Amino acid sequence: MSIDADTYRKTLGRWATGVTIVTARAGDEVHGMTASDFAGVSLDPPLVMVCVDKNANTLGVIQKGGNLCVNLLAADQEALSNKFASKKEEWTRFEGLDCATAHTGAPLIPGAIESLDCEVVAMHDAGDHIIVVGRVEAVVSGEGDPLLYYAGGYRALAGTDDA
């Protein structure tokens, strides 16, 4: 028995996630995208994973540069999440952003509550996505509550001013 794509998407949408912007650099080329398919993998060594659509332009930059930065977005960064999720004018996503870098040179999104700067250590084919595993080389911490996504919309933590 197999389920259809719409049922599967709706089912996964019932899993609350944080929202990230994954960035990468290959020489002078930078790119980034909004992603919620992110998880910790290992404490020792510190590894994380992110699932990237095979058609995403960011994947090519990750592959060429061998790096990525997973930026955990703050609750007030909904507009930035939408900008990095849209295919419209995607090569202008970084305009107006004053991004710093850490170890790998991948952009750190200003205002993120955490940025995990990673060297790519493995890539695994997984259907229409590639699972990218990165070794965390640096962490830059910010402040604030996380931006959350559930059932097709952004949410706030219960008990916060945004709730």
- 157 in a domain, yes or no? no
Q: Is the pLDDT assigned to residue 119 strictly greater than 90?
A: yes
The residue segments making up the domain with residue 83 are 19-152
- 12 in a domain, yes or no? no
- 7 in a domain, yes or no? no
- 3 in a domain, yes or no? no
- 11 in a domain, yes or no? no
Residues whose CB is less than 8 angstroms from the CB of residue 2 and which lie 6 or more positions away in sequence, other chains included: none
Question: What would the mean pLDDT of 5-32 be, rounded to a whole number?
Answer: 91
Residues whose CB is less than 8 angstroms from the CB of residue 49 and which lie 6 or more positions away in sequence, other chains included: 38, 39, 41, 131, 132, 133, 134
Q: Looking at residue 76, which CATH number applies to its domain?
A: 2.30.110.10
- The predicted-structure confidence for 91-118, as pLDDT tens digits, reads as follows 899 999 999 999 999 999 999 999 999 9
Contact 144, 74 (CB under 8 A): yes
Distance CA 123, CA 133 (A): 6
- 161 in a domain, yes or no? no
Q: Is the pLDDT assigned to residue 15 strictly greater than 90?
A: no
Distance CA 103, CA 98 (A): 17
Q: How many domains does the chain have?
A: 1
- 51 in a domain, yes or no? yes
Q: What percent of the chain has pLDDT over 70?
A: 98
Other beta carbons within 10 Å of 119: 15
